[in-house]
Structure 1
Amino acid sequence: MSAANEERTVTCIVCPSGCRIKVGIEGSEIVRISGNQCKRGADYARAEVTQPMRVLTTTVRLEDGRLLPVKTASPIPKVLLFDAVKELSGVRVKAPVKIGQVIYSNVAGTGVDVVTTRSWN
């Protein structure tokens, strides 16, 4: 296939089946999707090819230097992961914190909050 016509293979992570989905692309258009066992797989493959999204899991520092595990409350564009990590590298949080507490808003300009994944006194 030429650069204008390509086929990408995506491994679906929506369910445990792990379908290997082939996505046919002509120019900038998706023209076919095959190999998925369900509609959710086709939707995942379409999104993965056009704008891949990921939940960012990382740590930020508590004021006393300990590391606090955090994650984005919802997926953000994969291309913004490094920007988000860089932005969070300077964040310092004062304990106590509760699991699910928002510690940072609008990470990397995405409108997505960063929340704690554990409580800490």
Structure 2
Amino acid sequence: MIKTDQMVCIMCPVGCRLEVFLDEDGHVSVSGHKCQRGVEYGRQEMIDPQRILTTSVLVENGEMELVSVKTNKPVPKKLLFQMMDLLKTIKVEAPVSMGDVLVKDILGTGADIVATRTVLRKQ
């Protein structure tokens, strides 16, 4: 075995304790799962962990100073801090509507940064 990791599966409420093995050939095996989703989760976590990024972005001339945002699909976990650094530099102009794409294809991941609420313009 090259690598062994233990984790709790988050794909359903059961919370199976998984043991995930990566061998020299890159083959991943998972034990401790009660369903196939656990196998898929363990494999993904071992090879290329992914997360949905949720944060906020500054809004100019808005009723609120920030708008909550998220990625529209999971992105590589290893890029989260780079994404956060980039989003700290972004300012959007009010009004912002829920669902607006504020950043397209962030860091070449194919994921967009989408507003998760509406921020109206100051009156």
Q: Give the TM-score normalised by structure 1.
A: 0.89
2:14 is matched with 17
- Offset at residue 31 of structure 1 (A): 4.7
Change (3 A) 1:10 1:96: same
Correspondence for 1:49 among 46, 49, 62: 46
Secondary structure in 2 matching 1:23: strand
Q: What is the distance in 1 between the residues matched to 2:3 and 2:95?
A: 52
Secondary structure in 2 matching 1:7: strand
Superposition CA RMSD, Å: 1.5
- Offset at residue 30 of structure 1 (A): 3.2
User: Which has the bigger relative contact order, CA under 8 A and spacing at least 6?
Assistant: 2
2:58 is matched with 61
Q: Give the TM-score normalised by structure 2.
A: 0.88
Q: What is the distance in 2 between the residues matched to 1:34 and 1:7?
A: 11
Residue identity matched to 1:87? L
Q: What is the distance in 1 between the residues matched to 2:58 and 2:70?
A: 13
Residue identity matched to 2:101? V
Asked whether the equivalents of residues 22 and 46 of structure 2 are also in contact (C-alpha less than 8 Å), the reply is: no
Residue identity matched to 1:18? G
Secondary structure in 1 matching 2:10: coil
Secondary structure in 1 matching 2:69: strand
Unpaired stretches in structure 2, ≥5 consecutive residues: none
Asked whether the equivalents of residues 62 and 95 of structure 1 are also in contact (C-alpha less than 8 Å), the reply is: yes
2:59 is the counterpart of 1:34 = no
Percent pairwise identity: 41
- Offset at residue 26 of structure 1 (A): 2.0
Change (3 A) 1:6 1:104: closer
2:103 is the counterpart of 1:104 = yes
